[in-house]
């Protein structure tokens, strides 16, 4: 899931290199750019809690298609620049809708956790050093994964120092390729 509005920005650079490395490893990747899709904010109506075999959201937008893509996949990678110490608004809307539509625990009867067992990782860019810029996002993501029965695999974060300093360099390219390989290895070892 690509959650940056900037098509040629810092997060896009990480996503591009990560996806290329996955392709080189023979891993199929679908990049969904949330700024090109419509995922409205959750209405909190809880209608989804009465549907146990799918998301069951009352809103007619791109959420169900994106939810299905996540449900079909072995791994979900959430890529976002940090905005106000968390993810961008379209990514937050996706997570809000996912946590309710995917967890049938808030209605009259207790139902399934539809994304249980999915593996989740994150690619992040931020202005502050990672431990001060992306720490709250990572903590939120870890808790969401635990709550939804998903497996948190880790975060790759690089700082954008801004000014005249270019974000992209060979260190970041190599490191994000290494991250893709480490995730692949972890999933393979896990799958044995």
Ligand X SMILES: Cc1cc2nc3c(=O)[nH]c(=O)nc-3n(C[C@H](O)[C@H](O)[C@H](O)COP(=O)(O)O)c2cc1C
- Rule CB under 6 A: which residues touch ligand X? 4, 6, 9-12, 81-85, 125-128, 133, 160
Residue nearest to ligand X (CB): 9
The nearest distance, CB 91 to ligand X, in angstroms, is 12
**Residue number, 19 or 103, with CB nearest to ligand X:** 19
The nearest distance, CB 133 to ligand X, in angstroms, is 3
The nearest distance, CB 2 to ligand X, in angstroms, is 9
**Residue number, 119 or 159, with CB nearest to ligand X:** 159
In 7-20, which positions are buried (b, 16+ CB within 10 angstroms) versus exposed (e)?
eebbbbbbbbbbbe
Kind and range of the H or E run holding 76: strand 75-81
In 160-190, which positions are buried (b, 16+ CB within 10 angstroms) versus exposed (e)?
beeeeeebbeeebbeebbebbeebbebbeee
**Residue number, 84 or 189, with CB nearest to ligand X:** 84
CA-based torsion, 78, 81, 84, 85: positive or negative: positive
**Residue number, 55 or 81, with CB nearest to ligand X:** 81
């Amino acid at each position: 899931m690509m959650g940056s509005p900037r098509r040629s920005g810092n997060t896009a650079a990480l996503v591009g290199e990560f996806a290329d490395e996955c392709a080189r490893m023979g891993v199929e990747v679908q990049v969904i750019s949330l700024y090109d899709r419509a995922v409205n904010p959750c209405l909190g109506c809880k209608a989804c809690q009465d549907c146990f075999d799918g998301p069951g959201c009352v809103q007619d937008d791109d959420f169900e298609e994106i939810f299905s893509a996540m449900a079909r996949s072995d791994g979900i990678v959430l890529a976002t620049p940090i905005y106000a110490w968390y993810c961008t608004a379209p990514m937050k809307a996706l997570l809000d809708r996912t946590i309710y539509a995917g967890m049938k625990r808030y209605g009259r009867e207790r139902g399934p956790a539809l994304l249980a067992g999915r593996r989740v990782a994150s690619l992040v860019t931020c202005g502050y050093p990672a431990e001060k810029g992306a720490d709250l996002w990572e903590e939120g993501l870890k808790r969401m994964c635990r709550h939804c029965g998903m497996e948190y695999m880790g975060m790759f974060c690089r700082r954008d120092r801004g000014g005249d300093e270019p974000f992209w360099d060979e260190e970041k390219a190599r490191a994000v390729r290494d991250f893709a390989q480490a995730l692949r290895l972890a999933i393979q070892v896990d799958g044995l």
